[in-house]
Structures are given as C-alpha cells and as structure tokens.
C-alpha cells in the first residue's frame, strides 16, 4: 500500500492526513533541521513552525511535488532564514558590545565612530513607525510582509516607510557614502 503523504497533493489537507504526516515525518525533519542550524531547540521550533504553516494553509495549499519533498524544502528555507537572522543579530550584538560609557557607539577607527553616531542621529529623527520598519527590515532581516504582520499595517505602507527611511539616510549620510561602500563591500 502506498503512503498517501508521498503523493502529489492538490486537495485540502484533513486532520487525519496532517496527523499521520506529522507523526511519520517529524523526527526526520527535526534531524535535518538540527544538522542545518546546529541547535536542537531551534530545530524543533523550525519544524513545528513548518507544520503550523501547513496546517494554517491546509484549505488552499497545493503541493505539486511530494508532500515529503515540500516539507523538506520548507524546513530548509526556514533554517536558512534562521541562520541569516542569527548572523544579523550577532553583528548587531558585536556593535552593541562596543558601546562607550557615554552611550555612543565606539568602532575600531575614528571615522567609524562618526559614521555610527551620524547613523544613530539620522535614525533618531525618523518618525517612529518609519524607524521601526527600517530597524525590523535591516536589523532583524524581516521581509516586508512579516513587518506588516508584526506592526499591523499593509505591505504598501511598509514599502512607503522604507522608501522614506532610505531616502532620509542617503541624504543624512551622504558624506559617509565612500566609507559605507568600503565597510559593506568588505564584510
């Protein structure tokens, strides 16, 4: 008898199929996620989130490959997103650790200190929502739709806020563009 969770799936997922699929694939997907993210708790969270997404979209989901392949692709994608997010958090953490006693950011070289101070000031004068959108995008690596969901605004509003923030930062940090170019091309 052929396992129905291996077939192409175009019909909505019912509770029985979901439970069967969860029980038969969780351990293998968990092991795969562990191999990718090297953290058992995060791996379990990633796999559970993948199954939650499948369940939430069960009425409209259309899987043209096997369900197993689809789940592995989702686990891979979410694991890579997690690793990118961790990398951004680590960079942000490293910068935060270099704070000086007066609260300004202290970098390795003098012009870096000026740049970080100018960036902090430029971000500070942005409207609150605009600043939040920018920080969620750049420091937490959230996609526009994720930012929209978190802040309870439309994706179009997120795009508008990002456009305003980037335009403002380009103007405010124009003197630092050569330094920014060197910093971001060498990192």
pLDDT for residue 180 is more than 80: no
- Residue 13's domain comprises 4-91
- Best mean pLDDT range from 16-20, 86-90, 96-100, 171-175: 16-20
Higher pLDDT residue, 143 or 102?
Answer: 143
Mean pLDDT lowest among 12-21, 57-66, 107-116, 164-173: 107-116
Give the pTM.
Answer: 0.47
Q: Of 62, 91, 120, which one is at a domain's C-terminal end?
A: 91
pLDDT, residue 96, reads 57
101 token code pair: 């006693």
Dump pLDDT digits (tens) for 125-141.
Answer: 888 899 899 888 888 88
Residue found under tokens 């910068």:
95
Q: Of 49, 70, 91, which one is at a domain's C-terminal end?
A: 91
70 token code pair: 């689809």
What is the number of domains present in the chain?
A: 2
Burial (0-12, 13-18, 19+ Cβ within 10 Å), 147? buried
Same domain? 108 vs 152: yes
Same domain? 75 vs 118: no
Same domain? 59 vs 42: yes
Q: What is the mean pLDDT of the chain?
A: 78
CA 68 to CA 58: how far, in whole Å? 15
For the domain that residue 141 is a member of, what is the CATH number?
1.10.10.10
Instruction: Report residue 19's pLDDT band, with 50, 70 and 90 as the boundaries.
Output: confident
81 token code pair: 């997103």
Same domain? 180 vs 144: yes
Identify whether the C-beta of residue 71 lies closer than 8 Å to the C-beta of residue 17. no
Same domain? 154 vs 108: yes
pLDDT, residue 179, reads 53
Instruction: Report residue 186's pLDDT band, with 50, 70 and 90 as the boundaries.
Output: very low
What are the backbone angles phi and psi of residue 65, rounded to the nearest 5°?
Answer: -100, -170
Same domain? 73 vs 104: no
Dump pLDDT digits (tens) for 47-102.
Answer: 999 998 888 888 887 777 788 888 999 999 999 999 988 887 777 666 655 544 34
In this structure, the dihedral spanned by the alpha carbons of residues 30, 35, 39 and 43, taken in order and rounded to 10 degrees, is -30
Q: Of 91, 124, 142, which one is at a domain's C-terminal end?
A: 91
């Amino acid at each position: 008898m052929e396992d129905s969770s291996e077939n192409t799936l175009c019909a909505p997922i019912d509770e029985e199929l979901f439970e069967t699929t969860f029980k038969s694939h969780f351990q293998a997907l968990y092991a795969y996620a562990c191999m990718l993210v090297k953290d058992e708790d995060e791996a379990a969270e990633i796999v559970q989130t993948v199954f939650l997404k499948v369940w939430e979209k069960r009425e409209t989901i259309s899987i043209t490959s096997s369900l197993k392949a689809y789940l592995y692709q989702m686990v891979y994608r979410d694991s890579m997103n997690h690793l990118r997010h961790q990398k951004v958090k680590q960079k942000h953490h490293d910068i935060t650790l270099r704070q000086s006693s007066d609260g300004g950011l202290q970098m390795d070289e003098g012009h870096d200190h000026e740049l970080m101070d100018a960036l902090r000031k430029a971000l500070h004068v942005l409207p609150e929502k605009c600043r939040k959108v920018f920080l969620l995008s750049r420091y937490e690596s959230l996609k526009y739709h994720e930012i929209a969901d978190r802040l309870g605004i439309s994706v179009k509003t997120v795009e508008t806020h990002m456009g305003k923030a980037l335009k403002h930062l380009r103007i405010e940090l124009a003197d630092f563009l050569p330094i920014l170019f060197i910093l971001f091309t060498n990192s």
